Amino acid sequence: MRNYTRNMLVFHLFYLLPDVVFAIVWAEWGKDMNTRDQFQKLIDRKYQEIKDKELELEKLRTYVQAIQDTMKLLPKDPQNGSEQTLRPGTALAKTRDILKAAGKPMHITEILKALNHPVDKKNRLSLGGSISTYVRNGQIFSRPAPNTFGLIEMSNQPGESETGPEIPDDFGS
């Protein structure tokens, strides 16, 4: 018996292994039909598997896109139970206090009257624009109707938490 070094043994193993595998495949597949047809069937099956996986991947991408679109509708900064602070003495802080005291949303003209500000276009646009910034950011104020503002805490529906309705664990499966 020859004295093989480890490197020579590994070389011969990898050199001869493909021939052995091919001989086994040739012997088994050659029984019913020719080898070319067998390989073609194998290729066709693999292409079908690829198509199935691509379809599944496309469905998953669509699902993820739908979730991302839904997330865009949610406020960017969750309230985390802490109240947003406004500088004391500003018209916005006074507006928040007026809405809390009223306990319901109010039209911009009613808010201006409660603040003892003149009810004119300049004041309506100024205060309405400032409040609208908070509405767009999902902070402190809400807009239940045009030019009508309330507080976010007033707009929570019964049965909903501060963060909104819970998503079931099996959602999307």
- Whether the model pTM is above 0.85: no
**Mean pLDDT, the chain, as a whole number?**
80
Q: What is the pLDDT of residues 80-115, one digit of tens each?
A: 544 567 888 899 999 999 999 999 999 999 999 999
**DSSP secondary structure of 77-136:** S--TTPPPP--TTSHHHHHHHHHHHHTS-EEHHHHHHHTT---SHHHHHHHHHHHHHHHH
- 47-57 pLDDT tens trace: 999 999 999 99
pLDDT computed for residue 26 by the predictor: 60
